[in-house]
Amino acid sequence: MSVGTALVLVSHSAQLAAGLVEVAAQMAPDVDIRAAGGTDDGRVGTSFDLVEQAVTGALSAGADAVVVLTDLGSATLTAESVLEMLEDERVRLVDAPFVEATVAAAVAAQGGGDFDAVVAAAGTAVTGFAGSGEAGGATAGGPAADDGGARTRSLTLVNPLGLHARPAATVARTAAGFDAGVTINGVDAASVLALMSLGLTGGAEIEVSATGPQAEEALAAVVAEIESGFGET
């Protein structure tokens, strides 16, 4: 059975890779995310065999494709060696900030983005905190065409921690599910990195706007998520 696009995280540290898997899984619980950190004997470094096992294991488990992300230069070299040996077009390496790219790719995969969309989402992590949208949702490549005017709602974040990682991912997945361009305080609501860059905490006043064919539905869905407090109130 197909399980969509999987992620393999290659780090010099087994603990770092495992920790990032844990963080990303909070935002993308249905995505197969695998750690390939450290050497075969548990030292700091990278292992060709561990990376190969993670990639082939994901494919064997039913993944349509695998996106590989790395932390430092020699990890990239190890991953490149594995990809060269496998010669499998279903596997791609993305050169982007390790943590940010993993989060963006995981959210895109959780939202049903295809292989290209997940790769593109990881790639946008370079500029994600400047408010660039992620691929993988309806807003990829720019907002949906306006159908005559924006719908806007002003409201208050009721959960104490505001738009931290998990709520931001929830909002991003919701916004990306509609044929609409949705923004929160002027940034792309389908981009988890852009939302987190706002630094919005509990009690913050926000403005949600939507344009496009499904603007009404998108606005209502995003507002409902925010007003629910994400289960944290």
User: DSSP string spanning the chain?
Assistant: ----EEEEEEES-HHHHHHHHHHHHHH-TTS-EEEEES-TTS-SS--HHHHHHHHHHHHHTT-SEEEEEESSHHHHHHHHHHHHHH--TTEEEE-S-HHHHHHHHHHHHHTT--HHHHHHHHHGGGTGGGTPPPTTSTTTTSPPPPSSS-EEEEEE--STT-S-HHHHHHHHHHHHTSSSEEEETTEETT-HHHHHHT---TT-EEEEEEESTTHHHHHHHHHHHHHHGGG--
Active site residue 12: yes
Catalytic annotation, pick one of 7, 9, 12, 159: 12
Indicate which residues carry an active-site annotation.
12
